[in-house]
Amino acid sequence: MDIKPPYGYQEIVPLTKQQRVVMPEGRRLPLVFRSLTALPLSYTEFGAACRDYPIAFVSGDAGKTFLPMAILGLENQQNLFVSANGDWDAAVYFPAYIRRYPFCMTRVTVEGKEQAERIACVEKRAINDKGAALYDAKGEPLPLWEERRKLLFEYEADLVRSEEMCRTLAELALLEGFTMQAAPNQGNRVAMTGMHRVAEGKLAGLSPEKLKMLVEKGILARVYAHLISLNNFGRLLDRRSATQAPGAKAKGGAKS
């Protein structure tokens, strides 16, 4: 049996009732996430996330499939939302991808064949005898695990909706590659590639029937949230400038 860890995780194992698990406190970010430049975003998160992060579509298989991502930095291994003590900025939306940690849902591969059913797993390094129990002596789930399990299963279902949305956008040929270029007043120019966005011209050219379908599925609202969120690249530049020169007012601009 082969279990592949999700993006950002290290080594995961199936969750059992006997395990005790060390939980992150508040918005404290595990080390494995502190240098990630982007995080997967689920379907219902678009409305909240678009206020704080640029949302772009990313493909890991040359355009066969896409995934919406919240962009966290302008350079490789840069997360501009983590404070010096490892906490996520309290003034911005806290992505569900991190809130579910150290748990996740994943498919397993048996004899080279991926199984349809997903199982609950936990980051192996979070298992510790000094951690919190998830089940009582009778094998019944404790409130701590009930809350996390609800988030885990709801988030997993929401990721499936994200995948369906991306398939629809790809089938309609609405996604186009773009490069974000940032021009700070001091330092070198920054360019980010490998991202995709919805092409507004192609969106406007869709037939009334296809536009109605996007509206009925709730996709069109998320498309507009995505397009509006691209303005947040400028806010990333502000954060980058503030990090490099504490107290200094950021200057320059970002364009795509």
What would the DSSP string read from start to end of 61-81? STTSS-EEEEE--SSTT--TT
User: Strand, helix or coil at 127?
Assistant: strand
How big is the CA angle at 156 (ends 16 and 152), to the nearest 5 degrees? 45
Beta-carbon contacts of 16 under 8 Å, excluding residues fewer than 6 positions away, are none
- Half-sphere CA count of 4, side-chain side, radius 13 A: 10
Helix residue spans in 54-126 (DSSP H) = 96-99
pLDDT tens digit string along 75-133? 888 999 998 889 999 999 999 999 999 999 987 777 667 666 788 999 999 999 999 99
Beta-carbon contacts of 153 under 8 Å, excluding residues fewer than 6 positions away, are 105
The whole-angstrom separation of Cα 202 and Cα 114 is 36
- Listed by start position, the domains of the chain span 2-246
The whole-angstrom separation of Cα 14 and Cα 66 is 27
pLDDT tens digit string along 176-200? 999 887 766 666 677 778 899 999 9
pTM reported for the whole predicted model: 0.87
pLDDT tens digit string along 24-77? 888 988 888 899 999 999 999 999 999 999 999 999 888 899 999 999 998 888
**Over pLDDT 90: what percentage of the chain?**
66
Of 167, 194, 190, nearest to 178 (Cα)? 194
Of 240, 235, 234, nearest to 256 (Cα)? 234
- According to the model, what pLDDT value does residue 247 have? 47
Of 53, 40, 66, 76, nearest to 196 (Cα)? 66
